Amino acid sequence: MAQAKEKAEELKKEGNKALAESNYEEALRLYTEALTLDNNAVLYSNRSAAYSKAGNHLKALEDAEKVIELKPDWMKGWSRKGTALCYLNRYEEAKIAFEEGLKIEPDNEQMKLGLKDAESNLTGPGGSQPISNPFKDPQAIQKLESHPKTAAYMKDPRFRAQILMMTQSNSLQSINDPRMISCLGVLMGMDFNMMGPEDFPEEDSANPPASKPQPSNNSSDSNQSKNSDKKNNEQSAEQKKALAAKEKGNASYKAKNFEEALQHYEEAVTLDPTDMTFLNNKAAVYFEQQDFDQCIATCEKAVDVGRENRADFKVIAKALGRCGKAYLKKGDEANALKYLNKSLSEHRAPEIAKQVIEIEKQMKEKERLAYLNPERAMEEKVLGNEFFGKGNYPEALKHYTEAIKRNPDDARLYSNRAACYTKLMEFNLALRDCDQCIKLDSTFIKGYLRKGAIYSAMKDTSKAAMAYQKALEVDPNCAEAQQGYRSSVVQENSDPEAVRKRAMENPEIQEILGDPAMRLILEQMQRDPSALKDHLKNPNIAAKIEKLLEAGIIAIR
Protein backbone atom coordinates (compact mmCIF):
# COMPACT_ATOMS: atom_id res chain seq x y z
CA MET A 1 0.00 0.00 0.00
CA ALA A 2 2.79 2.36 1.00
CA GLN A 3 4.67 1.38 -2.17
CA ALA A 4 1.65 2.25 -4.34
CA LYS A 5 1.36 5.69 -2.71
CA GLU A 6 5.06 6.36 -3.25
CA LYS A 7 4.72 5.42 -6.92
CA ALA A 8 1.64 7.65 -7.22
CA GLU A 9 3.60 10.53 -5.68
CA GLU A 10 6.38 10.06 -8.26
CA LEU A 11 3.87 10.00 -11.09
CA LYS A 12 2.24 13.14 -9.73
CA LYS A 13 5.55 15.01 -9.72
CA GLU A 14 6.22 13.91 -13.30
CA GLY A 15 2.71 15.03 -14.23
CA ASN A 16 3.32 18.41 -12.60
CA LYS A 17 6.50 18.82 -14.63
CA ALA A 18 4.69 17.89 -17.86
CA LEU A 19 1.90 20.35 -17.11
CA ALA A 20 4.37 23.16 -16.40
CA GLU A 21 5.92 22.44 -19.82
CA SER A 22 2.44 22.58 -21.45
CA ASN A 23 2.62 18.87 -22.34
CA TYR A 24 -1.01 18.34 -21.41
CA GLU A 25 -1.50 14.86 -22.88
CA GLU A 26 1.48 13.50 -20.97
CA ALA A 27 0.34 15.22 -17.78
CA LEU A 28 -3.13 13.67 -18.12
CA ARG A 29 -1.63 10.22 -18.73
CA LEU A 30 0.59 10.47 -15.64
CA TYR A 31 -2.17 11.77 -13.35
CA THR A 32 -4.56 9.06 -14.58
CA GLU A 33 -1.97 6.36 -13.91
CA ALA A 34 -1.33 7.81 -10.44
CA LEU A 35 -5.05 7.71 -9.68
CA THR A 36 -5.13 3.96 -10.33
CA LEU A 37 -2.69 3.65 -7.44
CA ASP A 38 -4.07 6.28 -5.06
CA ASN A 39 -7.62 7.70 -5.10
CA ASN A 40 -6.36 11.08 -3.97
CA ALA A 41 -8.14 14.50 -3.98
CA VAL A 42 -4.93 16.31 -4.95
CA LEU A 43 -4.48 14.06 -7.99
CA TYR A 44 -8.03 14.75 -9.15
CA SER A 45 -7.41 18.46 -8.63
CA ASN A 46 -4.21 18.33 -10.68
CA ARG A 47 -5.88 16.37 -13.44
CA SER A 48 -8.74 18.90 -13.43
CA ALA A 49 -6.12 21.63 -13.99
CA ALA A 50 -4.60 19.61 -16.84
CA TYR A 51 -7.99 19.06 -18.50
CA SER A 52 -8.69 22.77 -18.15
CA LYS A 53 -5.40 23.68 -19.79
CA ALA A 54 -6.08 21.17 -22.57
CA GLY A 55 -9.47 22.79 -23.22
CA ASN A 56 -11.58 19.82 -22.04
CA HIS A 57 -13.62 21.74 -19.50
CA LEU A 58 -16.35 19.14 -19.05
CA LYS A 59 -13.72 16.62 -17.89
CA ALA A 60 -12.17 19.34 -15.72
CA LEU A 61 -15.56 19.84 -14.11
CA GLU A 62 -15.99 16.09 -13.50
CA ASP A 63 -12.64 15.91 -11.70
CA ALA A 64 -13.45 19.04 -9.69
CA GLU A 65 -16.70 17.37 -8.54
CA LYS A 66 -14.64 14.33 -7.51
CA VAL A 67 -12.32 16.56 -5.45
CA ILE A 68 -15.33 18.03 -3.63
CA GLU A 69 -16.77 14.55 -3.07
CA LEU A 70 -13.51 13.33 -1.50
CA LYS A 71 -12.74 16.49 0.46
CA PRO A 72 -15.66 18.97 0.61
CA ASP A 73 -13.86 21.21 3.12
CA TRP A 74 -10.94 21.87 0.73
CA MET A 75 -11.22 25.18 -1.05
CA LYS A 76 -9.28 23.98 -4.12
CA GLY A 77 -12.07 21.67 -5.28
CA TRP A 78 -14.56 24.55 -5.34
CA SER A 79 -11.99 26.70 -7.13
CA ARG A 80 -11.48 24.08 -9.84
CA LYS A 81 -15.24 23.71 -10.23
CA GLY A 82 -15.81 27.46 -10.50
CA THR A 83 -13.02 27.82 -13.07
CA ALA A 84 -14.35 24.97 -15.24
CA LEU A 85 -17.89 26.37 -15.09
CA CYS A 86 -16.64 29.81 -16.14
CA TYR A 87 -14.93 28.30 -19.18
CA LEU A 88 -18.25 26.59 -19.99
CA ASN A 89 -20.06 29.97 -19.69
CA ARG A 90 -22.15 28.59 -16.80
CA TYR A 91 -21.55 31.68 -14.70
CA GLU A 92 -24.49 31.31 -12.30
CA GLU A 93 -23.21 27.89 -11.18
CA ALA A 94 -19.63 29.21 -11.11
CA LYS A 95 -20.72 32.00 -8.78
CA ILE A 96 -22.18 29.44 -6.35
CA ALA A 97 -18.97 27.35 -6.49
CA PHE A 98 -16.74 30.32 -5.69
CA GLU A 99 -19.07 31.37 -2.86
CA GLU A 100 -18.80 27.87 -1.37
CA GLY A 101 -15.01 28.10 -1.59
CA LEU A 102 -15.02 31.47 0.16
CA LYS A 103 -16.99 29.97 3.04
CA ILE A 104 -13.92 27.78 3.63
CA GLU A 105 -11.31 30.50 3.03
CA PRO A 106 -13.08 33.90 3.28
CA ASP A 107 -9.87 35.89 2.72
CA ASN A 108 -8.65 34.06 -0.39
CA GLU A 109 -8.06 36.84 -2.91
CA GLN A 110 -8.01 34.61 -6.00
CA MET A 111 -11.35 33.08 -5.04
CA LYS A 112 -12.72 36.61 -4.67
CA LEU A 113 -11.44 37.44 -8.16
CA GLY A 114 -13.07 34.29 -9.49
CA LEU A 115 -16.38 35.28 -7.93
CA LYS A 116 -16.09 38.80 -9.34
CA ASP A 117 -15.42 37.46 -12.85
CA ALA A 118 -18.40 35.10 -12.63
CA GLU A 119 -20.71 37.89 -11.40
CA SER A 120 -19.52 40.32 -14.08
CA ASN A 121 -20.45 37.82 -16.79
CA LEU A 122 -23.95 37.06 -15.58
CA THR A 123 -26.51 38.34 -18.07
CA GLY A 124 -29.74 37.35 -16.35
CA PRO A 125 -31.41 35.82 -13.30
CA GLY A 126 -31.61 32.41 -14.87
CA GLY A 127 -28.01 32.12 -16.02
CA SER A 128 -25.90 33.29 -18.90
CA GLN A 129 -26.32 33.80 -22.59
CA PRO A 130 -23.91 32.81 -25.36
CA ILE A 131 -20.95 35.13 -25.75
CA SER A 132 -20.90 37.26 -28.87
CA ASN A 133 -17.73 37.03 -30.93
CA PRO A 134 -15.12 39.49 -29.54
CA PHE A 135 -12.73 38.55 -32.36
CA LYS A 136 -14.86 40.71 -34.68
CA ASP A 137 -13.61 43.83 -32.87
CA PRO A 138 -11.75 45.92 -35.52
CA GLN A 139 -8.88 46.33 -33.04
CA ALA A 140 -8.74 42.63 -32.12
CA ILE A 141 -5.55 41.83 -34.06
CA GLN A 142 -3.81 44.94 -32.71
CA LYS A 143 -4.79 44.05 -29.15
CA LEU A 144 -3.51 40.50 -29.46
CA GLU A 145 -0.24 41.58 -31.07
CA SER A 146 0.47 44.15 -28.38
CA HIS A 147 -0.65 42.21 -25.30
CA PRO A 148 2.24 40.46 -23.48
CA LYS A 149 0.18 37.28 -23.01
CA THR A 150 -0.68 36.81 -26.67
CA ALA A 151 2.01 38.61 -28.67
CA ALA A 152 4.10 35.42 -29.03
CA TYR A 153 1.08 33.42 -30.26
CA MET A 154 0.49 35.91 -33.06
CA LYS A 155 3.97 35.25 -34.46
CA ASP A 156 2.87 31.70 -35.34
CA PRO A 157 1.53 31.95 -38.95
CA ARG A 158 -0.87 29.01 -38.54
CA PHE A 159 -2.33 30.34 -35.30
CA ARG A 160 -2.59 33.84 -36.76
CA ALA A 161 -4.55 32.36 -39.67
CA GLN A 162 -6.97 30.77 -37.17
CA ILE A 163 -7.45 34.16 -35.50
CA LEU A 164 -8.15 35.80 -38.86
CA MET A 165 -10.79 33.13 -39.52
CA MET A 166 -12.37 33.92 -36.15
CA THR A 167 -12.60 37.61 -37.10
CA GLN A 168 -14.80 36.58 -40.06
CA SER A 169 -17.11 34.35 -37.99
CA ASN A 170 -20.54 35.60 -36.93
CA SER A 171 -20.52 33.77 -33.62
CA LEU A 172 -18.06 32.42 -31.10
CA GLN A 173 -17.58 28.73 -31.76
CA SER A 174 -16.30 26.08 -29.36
CA ILE A 175 -12.67 26.77 -28.49
CA ASN A 176 -10.35 24.05 -27.21
CA ASP A 177 -6.90 25.53 -27.94
CA PRO A 178 -5.59 27.07 -24.67
CA ARG A 179 -3.89 29.81 -26.72
CA MET A 180 -7.25 30.73 -28.24
CA ILE A 181 -8.76 30.88 -24.73
CA SER A 182 -5.98 33.26 -23.65
CA CYS A 183 -6.76 35.44 -26.68
CA LEU A 184 -10.45 35.36 -25.80
CA GLY A 185 -9.62 36.50 -22.25
CA VAL A 186 -7.53 39.42 -23.56
CA LEU A 187 -10.26 40.58 -25.98
CA MET A 188 -12.97 40.33 -23.31
CA GLY A 189 -10.84 42.18 -20.77
CA MET A 190 -10.70 39.21 -18.40
CA ASP A 191 -7.89 37.05 -17.10
CA PHE A 192 -9.34 33.54 -17.20
CA ASN A 193 -6.38 32.25 -15.19
CA MET A 194 -7.53 34.45 -12.33
CA MET A 195 -10.93 32.82 -12.16
CA GLY A 196 -9.71 30.80 -9.25
CA PRO A 197 -6.42 29.97 -7.56
CA GLU A 198 -3.54 29.30 -9.96
CA ASP A 199 -4.12 26.51 -12.46
CA PHE A 200 -0.68 25.07 -11.75
CA PRO A 201 -0.83 21.78 -9.82
CA GLU A 202 -0.52 21.44 -6.08
CA GLU A 203 2.63 20.12 -4.48
CA ASP A 204 0.90 19.89 -1.11
CA SER A 205 -0.77 16.89 0.49
CA ALA A 206 -4.43 15.98 0.36
CA ASN A 207 -4.88 17.68 3.75
CA PRO A 208 -3.92 21.30 3.06
CA PRO A 209 -4.02 23.79 5.95
CA ALA A 210 -7.07 26.01 6.30
CA SER A 211 -4.90 29.13 6.39
CA LYS A 212 -4.07 31.25 3.35
CA PRO A 213 -2.36 29.25 0.59
CA GLN A 214 1.42 29.34 0.53
CA PRO A 215 3.16 30.80 -2.54
CA SER A 216 3.60 28.23 -5.28
CA ASN A 217 7.08 26.75 -5.77
CA ASN A 218 6.54 25.79 -9.40
CA SER A 219 9.08 26.67 -12.05
CA SER A 220 6.78 29.22 -13.63
CA ASP A 221 6.91 31.41 -10.51
CA SER A 222 10.72 31.24 -10.35
CA ASN A 223 10.93 32.10 -14.05
CA GLN A 224 8.63 35.07 -13.50
CA SER A 225 10.85 36.22 -10.64
CA LYS A 226 13.95 35.95 -12.84
CA ASN A 227 12.22 37.83 -15.64
CA SER A 228 11.13 40.52 -13.20
CA ASP A 229 14.70 40.91 -11.90
CA LYS A 230 15.98 41.07 -15.47
CA LYS A 231 13.40 43.71 -16.32
CA ASN A 232 14.41 45.80 -13.30
CA ASN A 233 18.08 45.56 -14.31
CA GLU A 234 17.20 46.68 -17.83
CA GLN A 235 15.43 49.83 -16.61
CA SER A 236 17.23 53.02 -17.59
CA ALA A 237 18.35 55.54 -15.01
CA GLU A 238 15.62 57.91 -16.21
CA GLN A 239 12.94 55.25 -15.75
CA LYS A 240 14.13 54.53 -12.23
CA LYS A 241 14.06 58.24 -11.43
CA ALA A 242 10.57 58.47 -12.95
CA LEU A 243 9.32 55.68 -10.70
CA ALA A 244 10.87 57.37 -7.68
CA ALA A 245 9.13 60.64 -8.64
CA LYS A 246 5.85 58.75 -9.01
CA GLU A 247 6.20 57.30 -5.49
CA LYS A 248 6.74 60.82 -4.11
CA GLY A 249 3.66 61.93 -6.03
CA ASN A 250 1.63 59.06 -4.57
CA ALA A 251 2.68 60.06 -1.05
CA SER A 252 1.64 63.67 -1.71
CA TYR A 253 -1.64 62.50 -3.25
CA LYS A 254 -2.49 60.43 -0.17
CA ALA A 255 -1.70 63.47 1.99
CA LYS A 256 -4.07 65.49 -0.26
CA ASN A 257 -1.22 67.82 -1.19
CA PHE A 258 -2.35 67.85 -4.80
CA GLU A 259 -0.16 70.65 -6.18
CA GLU A 260 2.95 68.92 -4.92
CA ALA A 261 1.67 65.58 -6.28
CA LEU A 262 1.25 67.18 -9.73
CA GLN A 263 4.84 68.41 -9.68
CA HIS A 264 6.15 64.94 -8.92
CA TYR A 265 3.96 63.27 -11.55
CA GLU A 266 4.98 65.88 -14.15
CA GLU A 267 8.61 65.13 -13.33
CA ALA A 268 7.90 61.41 -13.87
CA VAL A 269 6.26 62.16 -17.23
CA THR A 270 9.27 64.25 -18.32
CA LEU A 271 11.71 61.49 -17.32
CA ASP A 272 9.70 58.68 -18.96
CA PRO A 273 7.05 59.94 -21.43
CA THR A 274 6.30 56.36 -22.59
CA ASP A 275 4.60 55.25 -19.35
CA MET A 276 0.91 56.19 -19.34
CA THR A 277 0.48 55.49 -15.60
CA PHE A 278 2.15 58.81 -14.76
CA LEU A 279 -0.44 60.63 -16.87
CA ASN A 280 -3.18 58.52 -15.28
CA ASN A 281 -2.00 59.69 -11.87
CA LYS A 282 -2.02 63.32 -13.02
CA ALA A 283 -5.59 62.87 -14.23
CA ALA A 284 -6.55 61.47 -10.80
CA VAL A 285 -5.22 64.68 -9.19
CA TYR A 286 -7.18 66.88 -11.60
CA PHE A 287 -10.29 64.83 -10.79
CA GLU A 288 -9.83 65.45 -7.06
CA GLN A 289 -9.33 69.18 -7.77
CA GLN A 290 -12.58 69.09 -9.79
CA ASP A 291 -10.74 70.34 -12.85
CA PHE A 292 -12.67 67.93 -15.01
CA ASP A 293 -11.71 69.40 -18.40
CA GLN A 294 -8.02 69.01 -17.58
CA CYS A 295 -8.71 65.51 -16.23
CA ILE A 296 -10.39 64.51 -19.51
CA ALA A 297 -7.60 65.97 -21.66
CA THR A 298 -4.95 64.18 -19.58
CA CYS A 299 -6.84 60.86 -19.73
CA GLU A 300 -7.11 61.08 -23.52
CA LYS A 301 -3.39 61.84 -23.77
CA ALA A 302 -2.67 58.87 -21.46
CA VAL A 303 -4.69 56.56 -23.73
CA ASP A 304 -2.75 57.76 -26.80
CA VAL A 305 0.57 57.17 -25.04
CA GLY A 306 -0.64 53.75 -23.85
CA ARG A 307 -1.65 52.63 -27.33
CA GLU A 308 1.62 53.85 -28.86
CA ASN A 309 3.63 51.94 -26.26
CA ARG A 310 1.40 48.84 -26.06
CA ALA A 311 0.31 49.36 -22.46
CA ASP A 312 -1.81 46.78 -20.67
CA PHE A 313 -5.46 47.13 -21.65
CA LYS A 314 -6.52 47.27 -18.00
CA VAL A 315 -4.47 50.48 -17.58
CA ILE A 316 -6.03 51.93 -20.75
CA ALA A 317 -9.47 50.94 -19.43
CA LYS A 318 -8.74 52.78 -16.18
CA ALA A 319 -7.94 56.01 -18.05
CA LEU A 320 -11.08 55.72 -20.18
CA GLY A 321 -13.14 54.99 -17.08
CA ARG A 322 -11.83 58.07 -15.30
CA CYS A 323 -12.57 60.12 -18.40
CA GLY A 324 -16.18 58.87 -18.29
CA LYS A 325 -16.49 59.69 -14.60
CA ALA A 326 -15.20 63.22 -15.23
CA TYR A 327 -17.84 63.74 -17.93
CA LEU A 328 -20.45 62.46 -15.49
CA LYS A 329 -19.34 65.04 -12.93
CA LYS A 330 -19.79 67.70 -15.62
CA GLY A 331 -23.34 66.49 -16.17
CA ASP A 332 -22.58 65.24 -19.69
CA GLU A 333 -24.18 61.80 -19.44
CA ALA A 334 -23.91 61.05 -23.17
CA ASN A 335 -20.12 61.41 -23.20
CA ALA A 336 -19.85 59.72 -19.81
CA LEU A 337 -21.66 56.69 -21.23
CA LYS A 338 -19.50 56.77 -24.37
CA TYR A 339 -16.20 56.65 -22.45
CA LEU A 340 -17.38 54.18 -19.83
CA ASN A 341 -18.44 51.80 -22.60
CA LYS A 342 -15.04 52.30 -24.23
CA SER A 343 -13.48 51.32 -20.90
CA LEU A 344 -15.60 48.17 -20.78
CA SER A 345 -14.48 47.24 -24.29
CA GLU A 346 -10.89 47.18 -23.00
CA HIS A 347 -11.55 45.49 -19.67
CA ARG A 348 -14.88 44.55 -18.06
CA ALA A 349 -14.61 46.00 -14.56
CA PRO A 350 -17.79 45.26 -12.50
CA GLU A 351 -17.81 48.77 -11.00
CA ILE A 352 -17.83 50.41 -14.45
CA ALA A 353 -20.46 47.97 -15.77
CA LYS A 354 -22.72 48.81 -12.81
CA GLN A 355 -22.23 52.54 -13.40
CA VAL A 356 -23.16 52.19 -17.08
CA ILE A 357 -26.42 50.45 -16.14
CA GLU A 358 -27.23 53.21 -13.64
CA ILE A 359 -26.53 56.00 -16.14
CA GLU A 360 -28.64 54.34 -18.83
CA LYS A 361 -31.47 54.00 -16.31
CA GLN A 362 -31.22 57.69 -15.36
CA MET A 363 -31.09 58.78 -19.00
CA LYS A 364 -34.21 56.77 -19.84
CA GLU A 365 -36.05 58.32 -16.91
CA LYS A 366 -35.01 61.81 -18.01
CA GLU A 367 -36.21 61.06 -21.54
CA ARG A 368 -39.53 59.85 -20.15
CA LEU A 369 -39.99 62.97 -18.02
CA ALA A 370 -38.98 65.22 -20.92
CA TYR A 371 -41.65 63.53 -23.03
CA LEU A 372 -44.45 64.42 -20.60
CA ASN A 373 -46.84 67.06 -21.97
CA PRO A 374 -50.44 67.21 -20.63
CA GLU A 375 -51.53 69.57 -23.41
CA ARG A 376 -50.24 67.26 -26.11
CA ALA A 377 -51.87 64.34 -24.24
CA MET A 378 -55.24 66.10 -24.48
CA GLU A 379 -54.77 66.61 -28.23
CA GLU A 380 -54.04 62.90 -28.67
CA LYS A 381 -57.09 62.01 -26.56
CA VAL A 382 -59.34 64.15 -28.79
CA LEU A 383 -57.95 62.42 -31.89
CA GLY A 384 -58.49 59.05 -30.23
CA ASN A 385 -62.12 59.93 -29.48
CA GLU A 386 -62.67 60.93 -33.11
CA PHE A 387 -61.35 57.63 -34.45
CA PHE A 388 -63.25 55.71 -31.76
CA GLY A 389 -66.49 57.41 -32.86
CA LYS A 390 -65.77 56.34 -36.46
CA GLY A 391 -65.21 52.73 -35.38
CA ASN A 392 -61.50 52.86 -36.29
CA TYR A 393 -60.38 51.24 -33.05
CA PRO A 394 -56.76 50.41 -33.97
CA GLU A 395 -56.10 54.06 -34.86
CA ALA A 396 -57.93 55.23 -31.73
CA LEU A 397 -55.78 52.85 -29.66
CA LYS A 398 -52.63 54.38 -31.15
CA HIS A 399 -53.66 57.90 -30.08
CA TYR A 400 -54.82 56.85 -26.60
CA THR A 401 -51.48 55.11 -26.02
CA GLU A 402 -49.59 58.24 -27.11
CA ALA A 403 -51.78 60.30 -24.76
CA ILE A 404 -50.88 58.00 -21.86
CA LYS A 405 -47.17 58.37 -22.63
CA ARG A 406 -47.59 62.13 -22.56
CA ASN A 407 -49.60 62.11 -19.31
CA PRO A 408 -49.45 58.72 -17.51
CA ASP A 409 -51.19 60.05 -14.38
CA ASP A 410 -54.54 60.80 -16.04
CA ALA A 411 -56.99 58.04 -15.05
CA ARG A 412 -59.45 58.96 -17.82
CA LEU A 413 -56.94 58.09 -20.53
CA TYR A 414 -56.69 54.51 -19.25
CA SER A 415 -60.50 54.31 -19.18
CA ASN A 416 -60.67 55.38 -22.81
CA ARG A 417 -58.04 52.89 -23.89
CA ALA A 418 -59.85 50.15 -21.92
CA ALA A 419 -62.99 50.88 -23.97
CA CYS A 420 -60.89 50.59 -27.13
CA TYR A 421 -59.37 47.27 -26.03
CA THR A 422 -62.87 45.99 -25.23
CA LYS A 423 -64.02 46.76 -28.77
CA LEU A 424 -60.97 44.88 -30.07
CA MET A 425 -61.86 41.91 -27.79
CA GLU A 426 -58.58 42.30 -25.87
CA PHE A 427 -60.29 41.80 -22.51
CA ASN A 428 -57.20 41.13 -20.37
CA LEU A 429 -55.52 44.31 -21.61
CA ALA A 430 -58.75 46.21 -21.02
CA LEU A 431 -58.97 44.92 -17.43
CA ARG A 432 -55.35 45.95 -16.83
CA ASP A 433 -56.17 49.51 -17.94
CA CYS A 434 -59.29 49.54 -15.73
CA ASP A 435 -57.22 48.53 -12.72
CA GLN A 436 -54.67 51.27 -13.46
CA CYS A 437 -57.49 53.78 -13.87
CA ILE A 438 -58.97 52.81 -10.48
CA LYS A 439 -55.50 52.86 -8.89
CA LEU A 440 -54.95 56.45 -10.05
CA ASP A 441 -58.45 57.62 -9.05
CA SER A 442 -60.57 55.33 -6.87
CA THR A 443 -63.52 57.76 -7.13
CA PHE A 444 -63.65 57.67 -10.94
CA ILE A 445 -66.80 55.60 -11.44
CA LYS A 446 -66.17 54.98 -15.13
CA GLY A 447 -63.30 52.65 -14.26
CA TYR A 448 -65.64 50.34 -12.30
CA LEU A 449 -68.37 50.49 -14.94
CA ARG A 450 -65.93 49.51 -17.70
CA LYS A 451 -64.62 46.68 -15.52
CA GLY A 452 -68.16 45.40 -14.91
CA ALA A 453 -68.96 45.51 -18.63
CA ILE A 454 -65.77 43.60 -19.48
CA TYR A 455 -66.49 40.84 -16.95
CA SER A 456 -70.05 40.61 -18.29
CA ALA A 457 -68.66 40.17 -21.80
CA MET A 458 -66.36 37.45 -20.41
CA LYS A 459 -69.42 35.72 -18.83
CA ASP A 460 -67.91 36.11 -15.35
CA THR A 461 -71.11 37.39 -13.73
CA SER A 462 -69.77 37.12 -10.19
CA LYS A 463 -66.88 39.51 -10.81
CA ALA A 464 -69.11 41.75 -12.91
CA ALA A 465 -71.55 42.08 -10.00
CA MET A 466 -68.69 42.97 -7.63
CA ALA A 467 -67.40 45.65 -10.05
CA TYR A 468 -70.84 47.21 -10.35
CA GLN A 469 -71.21 47.04 -6.57
CA LYS A 470 -67.98 49.05 -6.23
CA ALA A 471 -69.39 51.60 -8.68
CA LEU A 472 -72.52 51.92 -6.51
CA GLU A 473 -70.32 52.60 -3.50
CA VAL A 474 -68.93 55.61 -5.39
CA ASP A 475 -72.38 56.74 -6.62
CA PRO A 476 -75.45 54.87 -5.24
CA ASN A 477 -77.69 56.69 -7.75
CA CYS A 478 -75.76 55.70 -10.88
CA ALA A 479 -78.39 54.13 -13.16
CA GLU A 480 -75.79 52.27 -15.28
CA ALA A 481 -74.28 50.69 -12.16
CA GLN A 482 -77.73 49.73 -10.80
CA GLN A 483 -78.75 48.16 -14.09
CA GLY A 484 -75.43 46.35 -14.46
CA TYR A 485 -75.57 45.00 -10.91
CA ARG A 486 -79.18 43.74 -11.26
CA SER A 487 -78.43 42.10 -14.61
CA SER A 488 -75.31 40.39 -13.23
CA VAL A 489 -77.10 39.11 -10.14
CA VAL A 490 -79.98 37.71 -12.23
CA GLN A 491 -77.55 35.90 -14.52
CA GLU A 492 -75.56 34.73 -11.53
CA ASN A 493 -78.63 33.36 -9.72
CA SER A 494 -79.47 31.26 -12.74
CA ASP A 495 -76.09 29.59 -12.29
CA PRO A 496 -75.83 27.91 -8.82
CA GLU A 497 -72.09 27.42 -9.24
CA ALA A 498 -71.61 31.13 -9.90
CA VAL A 499 -73.68 31.96 -6.79
CA ARG A 500 -71.58 29.65 -4.69
CA LYS A 501 -68.36 31.06 -6.16
CA ARG A 502 -69.32 34.62 -5.32
CA ALA A 503 -70.47 33.63 -1.84
CA MET A 504 -67.13 31.96 -1.16
CA GLU A 505 -65.43 35.30 -1.86
CA ASN A 506 -67.53 36.97 0.86
CA PRO A 507 -65.31 37.60 3.95
CA GLU A 508 -68.23 36.83 6.30
CA ILE A 509 -68.82 33.44 4.64
CA GLN A 510 -65.07 32.71 4.74
CA GLU A 511 -65.04 33.46 8.47
CA ILE A 512 -67.97 31.11 9.14
CA LEU A 513 -66.45 28.28 7.12
CA GLY A 514 -63.09 28.89 8.80
CA ASP A 515 -64.57 28.36 12.27
CA PRO A 516 -63.55 24.83 13.44
CA ALA A 517 -66.74 24.51 15.56
CA MET A 518 -68.94 25.33 12.55
CA ARG A 519 -67.08 22.81 10.39
CA LEU A 520 -67.82 20.10 12.99
CA ILE A 521 -71.50 21.10 13.09
CA LEU A 522 -71.79 21.01 9.28
CA GLU A 523 -70.13 17.58 9.15
CA GLN A 524 -72.53 16.34 11.85
CA MET A 525 -75.55 17.73 9.93
CA GLN A 526 -74.34 15.92 6.81
CA ARG A 527 -74.16 12.60 8.68
CA ASP A 528 -77.32 13.16 10.71
CA PRO A 529 -79.81 15.74 9.28
CA SER A 530 -81.95 15.45 12.44
CA ALA A 531 -79.15 17.17 14.41
CA LEU A 532 -80.11 20.47 12.71
CA LYS A 533 -83.05 20.97 15.13
CA ASP A 534 -80.76 20.91 18.13
CA HIS A 535 -78.26 23.37 16.59
CA LEU A 536 -80.99 25.81 15.58
CA LYS A 537 -81.83 26.23 19.28
CA ASN A 538 -78.56 28.19 19.60
CA PRO A 539 -79.31 31.70 18.16
CA ASN A 540 -75.67 32.34 17.21
CA ILE A 541 -75.31 29.05 15.30
CA ALA A 542 -78.77 29.49 13.77
CA ALA A 543 -77.75 32.91 12.34
CA LYS A 544 -74.62 31.42 10.76
CA ILE A 545 -76.53 28.50 9.24
CA GLU A 546 -79.10 30.92 7.83
CA LYS A 547 -76.30 32.98 6.26
CA LEU A 548 -74.90 29.85 4.59
CA LEU A 549 -78.37 28.90 3.34
CA GLU A 550 -78.91 32.37 1.81
CA ALA A 551 -75.54 32.21 0.10
CA GLY A 552 -76.34 28.82 -1.40
CA ILE A 553 -73.36 27.17 0.33
CA ILE A 554 -75.63 24.59 2.00
CA ALA A 555 -79.15 23.32 1.29
CA ILE A 556 -81.67 21.59 3.56
CA ARG A 557 -83.86 18.90 2.07
Contacts made by residues 466-474, CB under 8 angstroms, sequence distance 24+: 466/502, 466/505, 471/445, 474/442, 474/443, 474/445, 474/448
Average pLDDT over residues 271-293: 93
Q: Each residue of 228-238: b (16+ CB within 10 Å) or e? A: eeeeeeeeeee
CATH class of the 40-194 domain in this structure:
mainly alpha
**Taking 60 as the threshold, does the pLDDT of residue 204 lie above it?**
no
Closest CA to 317 of 348, 357, 279: 348
Q: Which CATH class is domain 509-551?
A: mainly alpha
The pLDDT of residue 350 is 84
Chain segment 430-445, per-residue pLDDT in tens: 999 999 999 999 999 9
- CATH number for the domain running over 408-505: 1.25.40.10
Dump pLDDT digits (tens) for 397-410: 999 999 999 999 99
- Looking at every residue in the chain, the average pLDDT score rounds to 82
What does the pLDDT average to over 472-495? 86
Say if CB 286 and CB 292 are below 8 A apart.
yes
Domain boundaries, the chain: 40-194, 237-370, 408-505, 509-551
Phi, psi at residue 127, to the nearest 5°?
Answer: 140, -150
Q: Per-residue pLDDT averaged across 506-529, rounded?
A: 84
At residue 550 the predicted structure's pLDDT band, cuts being 50, 70 and 90, is confident
CATH code for residues 237-370: 1.25.40.10
Which has more pLDDT, 121 or 204?
121
368-399 confidence digits (pLDDT tens): 888 899 999 999 999 999 999 999 999 999 99
Render pLDDT for 57-79 as a digit per residue (tens, 0 to 9).
Answer: 888 899 999 999 888 889 899 99
| The pLDDT of residue 53 | 80
Instruction: Report the distance separating Cα 239 and Cα 23, nearest Å.
Output: 38
**Do the domains spanning 40-194 and 509-551 agree at the CATH topology level?**
no
